[in-house]
Structure 1
Amino acid sequence: MTRSFRAVAVQPQWHVDDFIMPAAFQRWMHTQLRMARPQLAQDRPNLVVLTELNGLPLLLLGGVRATTFKSAARELVLRHWPAVLRLMLTERVSAIRALQLHVAQVAVPLYLSVCRDLALSYGVYLCCGSLPMPRYRLEGGEVRRVSGVLTNQAVMFGPDGRLIGCADKVHLTPPEQAGGLDLSPGRLDELRAFPTAVGDLGVAISLDAFRADVIDCLREQGCTVLLQPDANGISWTADEGLPPDPAHVRPQPLAWLESSWQVTTSGQIRYAVNPMVVGNLLDLTFDGQSAITGRLHEGVLQSYAMTEPRGGFLALLPWAAQGTDEELREAGRVRTAGSGHPLENSYQTGVLTADLELPPSVVPEPTPTEHERALRAWLGEPTRR
């Protein structure tokens, strides 16, 4: 039987105040589903995809006086110094990773419970975005944390509130590596496709959607709907250069055509959903254009800012301004953190939808990982499905 469903991408704007208290984080997450509610289908299942690292700012729980992310990290390390030092010595990790592992004791249960409740309350399949997630295991019926491991992990729940599965980011950007957030890279062999009523879901977090090894891995496992949660930490109309060739500089929107759009217009993966968060968080800038993509002959002719119109975009959120390339570069610059311009932190938010169809799934249910079994136990679910 054909699977008919609605894909929904939410582009929110975040602010430090959304993360200083658990109740504030809960409100921010609920606001995103309330934004989506008028667009949810009543006659078919809904897939809602949220943005990358929307759980990272939970590091700021309790608030900070600092105005830059680096100084905030120093402030937080000092605030939690006894616990941070203990973890640094016992697990041989950096101060920033130790801080995140310590805060995870509060942040992870908060994140998981809020996201589970959202999926259940709104009756949707929910890719919750991602957060820095420790690795857990079941030991004698108890949930234990694996020493030292901290990945950028997406979590998915079904409309019944049950955990569908998790996916780690394999290819980390420089700010996520040592000297930055110091996250652990995910394992390529742990990426899987999850068969659901809203497609055979595969997750490629941000940079992973640009990498052939990740896309090939998901395609070979039968992925039909690619989920690309994103937090692009630079002005959308600025130039970028990323490994493996940082000298290959091009405008952000042009580079983005090499992720979800390229995956669905030139490969076997049928659809992709790419939500992007916007907003200035302390001194960091996040910007982009969320999109839902399909085959090249589908959708109306349109494209990202600073690129020529093309097929394949089933839904695309407009950028915050229009004009020539130079005008767009300036429009991006004045919106960045610390610009002092009246348009600083003025971005486009919104919700995208597309009604999609797929043939019946032939993808087998993947065996839960040890980590997934531990999270299910933590959430009070059966550890096997």
Structure 2
Amino acid sequence: MASGERHFRVVAVQPKWHAQDFTSAAAFRRWMRTQLEQARPHLSADRPTLVVLTELNGLPLVLRGAPWAPRLSTFERAAAALFLARLASALPLMLRERISPVRALQLAGSEPNTRLYLHTCRDLAREYGVYLCCGSTPMPRYVRHGRHLKREPGVLTNQTVLLGPQGNLIGATDKVHLTPAEERAGGDLTPGRLDELRVFPTPVGDLGVAISLDAFRGDVIGRLEAQGCTVLLQPDANGAPWTSLEGLPPDPQQVRDQPVAWLESSWTATTGGRSIRYAVNPMVVGNLLDLTFDGQSAITGRPEDAPEPLSYVMTPPRQGFLALAPWVEEGPAEQLRQSGLDLAAHSGHPRENTYRTDVLFADLSLPASTCPAPARTPHEEALEAVLHGHIKASRRYESWAALGAGVLALLALIRRMR
């Protein structure tokens, strides 16, 4: 990095999603563009700007091409119907790679969805001239073979991609610690590896990514700090009413209000850490079929950078919040807990799904970077080739021959199990 202090702006977008935003490529592009349009008034003309989007904003692309799926009202029903509709591609993959139906369903459409996701984000970074944390999406690991991609069998991680203002790839990061909803009984994703987490020096900070639950974990924060992370990015999709109680590993029996728990992530990393000076934590809201997503997006810093007392609902005000999205209302804890249930999916209440969207921004300064740029991984080289259009679309084998091969393999497996 060049010498001299870095002055830049960060923007966190808190959007609201709907299942219909993911049933076609055009709908997905519109939804993503809407978020950059929300950010546009806050983009800086005299300093570089980093825009941070939310976790799993590509997950519902599994609905693409199935406008009927949202009418099934639950993700479980939709996933089962989609698996049957895409049996010709998903079943052989499930049997060949020994993976669950839900992972096979996602992997069956992963290459076109990855291409759509990356190209959409690339075009937005270029058009708006911003550094872009694309959020995160379920994505395979790829290796480039000439003008084609080779996918690592069975692997599907919750992955963040960082882009520069020219649409160039800065780096990619996998989520290490998965929630129960992301494990085998839910989305069935593959955990990332702690030793693969890296920090990316840029004009908008030495960026380390800790996707959602990772920002709560000392091993992740410690690894990023050891590499000199100064700006922590925490894309989030909190799958529960914001004012409900939560219990997560290692002790699910110890429950607490979710806003209290969230103080252990970005806010703690910036107010009590070593190298991390700032953190950006955007959170998506909205009911997606039968799933509820809610939260309060925040930008945090050191207490001396943010002396005005602020905090999440249901927690006392404190220093360290540079910007904080209000929740839908304020009031006593019991009132807020009930309001969270009223907003939730399938509540039947008049306030159902009436969440608040928001955009936060803050102007930040840091000394010149002393972090070395990490070497590209083979997966990142493959993503870069996709971004530059150097990869051909793979031939699709959604044929009756492929289905027949899958059925034969399934019958053989059943015979062996008898």
- Offset of residue 381 of structure 1: 7.5
Shift, 1:66, TM fit = 1.0
- Letter paired with 2:183: Q
Bigger shift: 57-66 or 180-189?
57-66
Correspondence list, 1:181-200, <5 A: 181-200=187-206
Deviations 1:270-308 (A, max 9, x none): 000000000000000000000000002332111000000
Q: CA RMSD in A?
A: 1.2
Alignment of 1:85-96 (within 5 A): 85-96=91-102
1:237 aligns with 2:243: yes
**Secondary structure, counterpart of 1:365 in structure 2:** coil
Structure 1 residue corresponding to 2:379, chosen from 371, 374, 384: 371
Provide the secondary structure at the position in 2 that maps to 1:32: helix
Distance 1:354 1:382, change over 3 A: farther
Q: Are residues 1:356 and 2:399 paired?
A: no
- In the aligned structure 2, how far is the partner of 1:160 from the partner of 1:18? 26
The residue type equivalent to 1:206 in the other structure is S
d(CA) in 2 for partners of 1:312 and 1:27?
34
Give yes or no for contact 1:52–1:229 (8 Å, CA) kept in 2: yes
C-alpha displacement of 1:382: 9.3
Tell me which residue corresponds to 1:289: 296
Measured after TM superposition, the shift of residue 141 of structure 1 is: 5.4
Looking at structure 2, the residues matched to 382 and 59 of structure 1 have their Cα atoms a distance apart, in angstroms, of 25
Secondary structure of 1:148's aligned partner: coil
Aligned residue for 2:62? 59
User: Which structure would you say has the larger Rg?
Assistant: 2
Find the residue that maps to 1:129 and give its secondary structure: coil
Say whether 1:26 aligns with 2:29.
yes
**1:138 deviation in Å?**
1.9
CA distance in 2, matches of 1:381, 1:199: 28
**Residues 147, 390 of structure 2: 8 Å contact kept:** no
Runs of 4+ in 1 over 4 A off after TM superposition: none
TM-superposed deviation, 1:319: 0.3
Q: Does 1:10 align with 2:17?
A: no
* Aligned equivalent of 2:282: 275
Secondary structure of the residue that 1:47 maps to in structure 2? strand
Structure-1 residue corresponding to 2:404: none
Residue 117 of structure 2: aligned partner = 111
Is 1:214 the counterpart of 2:220? The answer is yes
Larger RCO, structures 1/2 (Cα 8 Å, 6+ apart): 2
Q: Which runs of 5+ in 1 are unaligned?
A: none
SS in 2 for 1:153: strand
Question: Which residue does the alignment assign to 2:182?
Answer: 176
Separation in 2, partners of 1:152, 1:24? 22
Q: What TM-score do the two structures reach when normalised by structure 2?
A: 0.90
Structure number having the greater strand percentage: 1
Q: Secondary structure at the match of 1:93?
A: coil
- Following the alignment from structure 1 to structure 2, what is the Cα–Cα distance between the partners of residues 37 and 380? 25
What is the 5 A alignment of 1:146-165? 146-165=152-171
CA distance in 1, matches of 2:60, 2:387: 22
Task: State the alpha-carbon separation in 2 of the partners of residues 8 and 235 from structure 1.
Answer: 24
The alpha carbon displacement at 1:144 in A equals 1.0
2:48 aligned with 1:42, yes or no? no
Shift of 1:105: 2.2
Q: How many residues align?
A: 383
Q: Is the 8 A contact 2:167 2:387 kept in 1?
A: no
- Give the corresponding residue for 1:331: 339
User: In the alignment, does 2:319 pair up with 1:311?
Assistant: yes
- Cα deviation for residue 142 of structure 1 reads 3.3
Contact 1:291 1:352 in 2 (8 A): yes
1:29-65 deviations in Å (ceiling 9; x for gaps) = 0000000000111110000000000000001112213
What is the one-letter code of the residue matched to 2:303? Answer: L
d(CA) in 1 for partners of 2:132, 2:245: 32
- Contact kept, 8 Å, 2:126 with 2:166, in 1: the verdict is yes
Post-superposition CA distance 1:77-133 (Å, at most 9, x none)? 111011111101111111100000011122110000000001010000000000000
Q: Residue type matched to 1:335 in 2?
A: L
Report the secondary structure of 1:167's partner residue.
Answer: strand
How far off is 1:145 after superposition?
0.9
Distance 1:326 1:252 in 2: 14
CA-CA distance at 1:330 after TM superposition: 1.0
Q: Which amino acid aligns with 1:110?
A: L
Alpha-carbon separation, structure 2, partners of 1:258 and 1:337: 27
Rounded Cα–Cα distance in structure 1 between residues aligned with 2:63 and 2:172? 24
